[in-house]
Structure 1
Amino acid sequence: MGPIGENEFFFLMQGLKWTVLLAIVGFIGGGIFGILIALLRTSKKKVARTITAGYIGVFQGTPLLMQLFVVYYGVALLGIEVNAWIAVAIAFTLHASAFLGEIWRGSIEAVPKGQTEAANALGLHYVSRMKDIILPQALKISMPATIGFLVQLIKGTSLAAIVGFIELTRAGQIISNQTYRPLLVFGIVGAIYFIICWPLSHAGSGLEKRMAKAAR
């Protein structure tokens, strides 16, 4: 068995860097498209609602691992050369947009209808109504679920290793193969994930409890 020294820890930190970056890109990109999906899902146009419902159904009804395969190898079949980073970033953005879009759709619909009726009575047009009245309240309602999804997204980045992307889990696997100390290596990897995810989960749970008390 080989030693686990400074070089091995540095390699893990490099993998952690890509894990964090991938989660950030997927979450921000998914958030941008997710809000658009949420607005289309709550629109009065049946075609828009049907198309976005189908989009959400596809990404929620299929494994993330399969989505990574389809994006990575599917783009290559079109004759477009992409590296693993771009492929997984696209896949995670699409995946996150479907889940966040549905979370925010539910939050928009959870805003009391009286708010919309009051905005209409004041003569506010759609953009002002959504931007100034509905979305701020929907965002507050959605925060616990949004944070929960972010935690799942961070843990889900471990699947990116399947297409050759070296993130934290893949870095741990490489070091484990070199040192023959899988229990120690993956114990460290698991501890790193816990340090990142537990505070977020705790914050989401605390926020949900505070919101529940405020609603009483």
Structure 2
Amino acid sequence: MHALLAHCRTALTVFLLLSVITGLAYPLVVTLAAQSLFASQTRGSLIHDRADDEGNVSGETVIGSSLIGQPFASPGHFWSRPSATAPMPYNGSASGGSNLGANNPQLLDAVRARIAALRAADPDNRAPVPVDLVTASASGLDPDISLAAAVYQSARVARARGIDITAVQTLIEQLAQRPWLGIVGEPRVNVVALNRALDAAR
């Protein structure tokens, strides 16, 4: 009987000790370290703006996240890649792709419609349409477009804003994100950051 109680006491002590270490101490240390070293990332990489919709400064307002794309329709803004999330584009609670196969007629029709919309917005642009401007990402939340997709839109944006195309393309280069260590990832640019920089320059 004493041996059984001793085993139970030992098991309970180990259980309580591990619960404190793995359930309280470890998560607390990791959380504090993350918030100290990666403050922006642990808070969702939020983008803040100090002005409201009417341009009045009324404290910091969260306008998005650099990790989640936003839809833009104005010809003076760069357009994000399509989003397959529902019921609205870039819906973080419904992340996912269209799951349509490459030969699915629905996907082909959607791509044709997107190409037509791009052509209609910039009739003089006869360059090949970059694939990321007419296809959704697997997550449906991709905040970035390729540099080719940004350059493709630069003439339309410059014309709509009445500025020189060189200034727009220079801004693309300034905000371009290069592959990590030169090999991981693709050259890209964050659409929200690019449009905010354009609006700030104006």
- Class of the TM-score when normalised by the shorter of the 2 chains: under 0.3
Structure of higher RCO (CA pairs closer than 8 Å, 6+ residues apart): 1
Which structure carries more helix by proportion? 1
Structure number with greater Rg is 2
Q: TM-score, normalised by structure 1?
A: 0.21
Which structure carries more strand by proportion? 2
Q: TM-score, normalised by structure 2?
A: 0.22
